[in-house]
Amino acid sequence: MLISSFVNFLEEKILATILLIELILLFLLVFNKNNDIRRSIIIACVLWAIILVLFTEMLSLMNGLTQRNLSILWIISIIISSYLLIKQVPVKLQVSFSSTLDNRDKIVAYIITIFIVATFLSAVLFPPRNWDSMTYHMARVANWAQNHSVHHYATHIPRQLFSGVYAEYIILNTYLLNGNDNLANIVQWFYYISSIILVSTIAKKLGLSKKSQLLAAVLYAAMPMVVMQASTTQNDLTAAFWTLAFVYFTLDILRVLFLINEVRICVSLFLKMGAFSFQLNFKF
């Protein structure tokens, strides 16, 4: 009995990590192409989001959103990414950012790290508990998991059906793979870190120095509303990330006109709208 419970526990935790494993593999694939850490993180997030949405929608069409089916699809994706990575010529990872910073700048970097660690502990140790989480973010995830589909269901809370779904798609994947909602808050925290990286990268794209990039990052990381939401299941930071991604790739395309950048712009805007949908009121 105890052995069986322990095996089930390990199985759940291992399954929950496959999302992260695929993201890391995508990062390595992209990094081998452009040798830019921050840009590779951003592009990997876009690719990972596309895969996640496709898997969720595909299984939903067949009422097959279960732990087993999701696990199979993500494992197949990991195998494919691993194969592609093995075929590539590896690029040596070089990180020299800190070497150009003085003591004051390092203190700023430490402050950002403190915010990241503190919000991570809050996200992991405390379950979803605020009003929005209870009324529709987690409620819709529980209904989707129960119905094995993201189709509409009977409810007296309309925003469970008509609000943006992307952030909850990620929570649904973690919920099903992990078997509980322990990792639900990690979604916002992940996009908290990703947005910090994006802010600094946009600053770099605008021609600012490394010190100015660090300043831009800490100003974003320390914003009260950002910090408060970094450990919840709300979707504002997810929407912020895709808005910033849209800005980043727009700046990118102004410099080098490639079709691939246009595609990334469209994907970023689409996922931003999916994370935090716009409401249009028509009066007749």
Q: What are 57-81's pLDDT values in tens digits?
A: 999 999 999 999 999 999 999 999 9
Residues in the chain: 284
Helix-, strand-, coil-residue percentages of the chain, each rounded to 5:
75, 0, 25
Read off the pTM: 0.82
Among 94, 271, 106, 108, smallest CA distance to 191 is for 271
Among 167, 138, 140, smallest CA distance to 154 is for 140
CA dihedral 17, 19, 25, 28 (to 10 degrees): -100
- Residue 131 CA: distances (Å) to CA of 134, 164, 283: 5, 17, 30
Average pLDDT, the chain: 82
User: Residue 279's CB: how many other CB atoms inside 10 A?
Assistant: 7
pLDDT recorded at residue 79: 94
Residue 171: pLDDT band (50, 70, 90) is: very high
Among 50, 54, 63, smallest CA distance to 150 is for 63
Tell me the percentage of the chain whose pLDDT exceeds 70: 80
Q: At what angle do helices 37-61 and 236-255 cross, to 10 degrees?
A: 120
Q: What are 105-119's pLDDT values in tens digits?
A: 888 889 999 999 999
Question: Which residue did the predictor score with more confidence, 217 or 88?
Answer: 217
pLDDT recorded at residue 260: 54
Query: For residues 221 and 153, what is the distance between their CA atoms, to the nearest angstrom?
Result: 37
183 contacts 16 by C-beta, under 8 angstroms = yes
Residue 13 pLDDT greater than 70, yes or no: no
Q: What are 198-237's pLDDT values in tens digits?
A: 999 998 888 888 888 898 999 999 999 999 989 888 888 9
Alpha-carbon Rg for the chain in angstroms: 20
Q: What are 118-166's pLDDT values in tens digits?
A: 999 998 888 888 888 888 888 899 999 999 999 998 888 888 888 888 8
CA dihedral 253, 254, 257, 258 (to 10 degrees): -10
pLDDT recorded at residue 106: 83
Residue 6: pLDDT band (50, 70, 90) is: very low
242 contacts 233 by C-beta, under 8 angstroms = no
Tell me the percentage of the chain whose pLDDT exceeds 90: 40
User: Residue 164's CB: how many other CB atoms inside 10 A?
Assistant: 19
pLDDT recorded at residue 255: 67
The full set of domain ranges for the chain reads 2-88+101-275
Query: For residues 218 and 77, what is the distance between their CA atoms, to the nearest angstrom?
Result: 35
